[in-house]
Each structure stands twice: as C-alpha cells, then as structure tokens.
Amino acid sequence: MEALQALVLTNAQLRELFTEAAKQGAALAVRELRADVHQTPEDASLQKLRAYLADPASLANHKAIGRTAASSARSNPRHAASRTPRRGS
C-alpha cells in the first residue's frame, strides 16, 4: 500500500490562507485597473485594434473601432500635420 501525503489545516489557518490569497488577488486587480485608467486614448485605441486584429469576432461593433481610430488621428496634431501639405515654405 502506497503512502499518501496530506496537509491538515485548522479552521483559523484555512481562513488566513484564503484571506491572504484574496488580498493578493485584489492587489493584482487594482494594479491592472490603475494601468487601464492611466492609459492614453491612443493606447486604448491601439489595444482595441490589436484585439480586433487578433480576433475580429471579439468585437461586436466594428464601426466603433474605425470611429475611435479616426478621432484619435484628428485629435493628434502630428497626424494632422502629416496630412496637410505646407505651402510657401
């Protein structure tokens, strides 16, 4: 007969183990949410576009991506400068 290993925890130890795991999970979720909040609109658009390119079925409204990308290009002066030829320079 083969011996089996077992771990026996008291109720308090199990509660402490779950509490610590929950704290670590919450800290991870907060870090991810903060990263999303501090994202520039351009970064958010790029993330959506990359997700769409990876899986086109992942987004229900494909037109929203186009509008987001177009509005980002209009709001960024570097893009506007590259589209408008300079005259008299």
Structural domain boundaries of the chain?
Answer: 13-83
pLDDT of residue 89: 46
Q: Per the confidence metrics, is the pTM higher than 0.85?
A: no
Six token digits for residue 46: 């790029």
10-residue averages of pLDDT along the chain (89 residues): 91 97 96 82 86 79 58 56 52
Rounded Cα distance between 42 and 78, Å, is 13
Rounded Cα distance between 74 and 83, Å, is 10
Using an 8 Å Cβ cutoff, are 52 and 65 in contact? yes
Residue 7 backbone zone (phi > 0: left; psi -120 to 50: alpha; other: beta) = beta
Using an 8 Å Cβ cutoff, are 59 and 52 in contact? yes
